[in-house]
Amino acid sequence: MMDTIPTEFEVLDERFAVISGDDRVEVLHTGTRWAEGPVYFPAGRFLVWSDIPNERMLRWDEMTGAVGPFRQPSGYTNGNTIDREGRLISCEQGNRRVTRTEHDGSITVIADRWQGRRLNSPNDVVVRSDGSIWFTDPPYGIISNYEGVAAEQEIDGCHVYRADPVTGEVRIVADDFVRPNGLAFSLDERLLYVADTRARHIRVFEVGEDGALGAGRVFAEGGEQDKFDGLRLDETGRVWAAAGRAVLCHDPDGTLIGRLRLPEYTANLVFGGLKRNRLFIAASSSLYSLMTNVTGARPVWAVR
């Protein structure tokens, strides 16, 4: 029988009162050292996520509930997403690169250097509907051997990058972050949200037609325990963020309207299931799931 824990929604604003779900959160798996990067594959009805310190990726089967290995070694993979062709895009902290897993299982390197210098350790990634790949690059994977391979930082600073879908050019789009982490586009892709874990806030930028970002502004400030990590949007444009021992929900105007409390430190999340109303959360040693009355934003492969 599957383990469960009580669902703890905290309503901070009446706009969150309409959100509900199962009375209990499912614990789909436990036993990871640091769970990260959940990504749901609707065609196969399975979810893949990362266990960074154990240098492996795991796979959960929605039809059977079985959990097994997906990839090991994984290059200390952190964040994952899917591109428009249904291929896995991953941030390999240990290999200091962003890769694409082709349909035949082979791996293509999308980005591993900027102006000839090795990236720090790509952390999280998102794909825009034009095929461009955007990722953050803090140094967590090179600080020690725990989440990667200890090494010297070759690039001055921790930046947000864009890889061009045609030329493959990798360029910096934001260079004033302390520790850039999770990122997500607005529903119309005219805005990019980026979490800064060290600064404890989420910033939002206007995205130009040429892929350049505007100056940006602070979208949401975190509290003492709110070290923002992964981000996702629902179909109304609300921003859901993994932060501390909770998943936070922000209205599109930036107001924190509610929390889903959890017993472990959350790292990342994704909406999945056939109706995109099942919230999956990677948190410390466990993978959690909650069926909700919220529908996640349309994934990039569904945007036409």
Specify binding-site residues for a divalent metal cation: 36, 181, 229
54: left (phi over 0), alpha (psi -120 to 50) or beta: alpha
Report which secondary-structure segment, H or E, holds 261: strand 256-261
* C-alpha neighbours within 13 Å on the C-beta side of residue 239: 30
Q: Which residues are known binding-site members? A: 36, 123, 147, 181, 229
Q: In terms of DSSP bridges, do strands 8-11 and 256-261 run parallel, antiparallel, or are they unpaired?
A: antiparallel
What sign does the CA torsion over 13, 242, 188, 207 have?
A: positive
Residues making up the binding site for substrate: 123, 147
| Catalytic annotation present for 188 | no
For 262, residues 6+ apart whose C-beta sits below 8 A from its C-beta are 5, 8, 25, 245, 246, 247, 281, 283, 288
**Positive/negative CA dihedral, 165, 95, 71, 77:** negative
Among residues 51, 196, 226, 229, the one annotated as catalytic is: 229
- Give the β-pairing of 228-233 and 239-243: antiparallel
**Cα distances (angstroms) measured from residue 17 to each of 14, 53, 242, 259, 294:** 5, 38, 20, 11, 12
CB 70, CB 88: distance < 8 Å: no
Q: Which residues are known to be catalytic?
A: 229
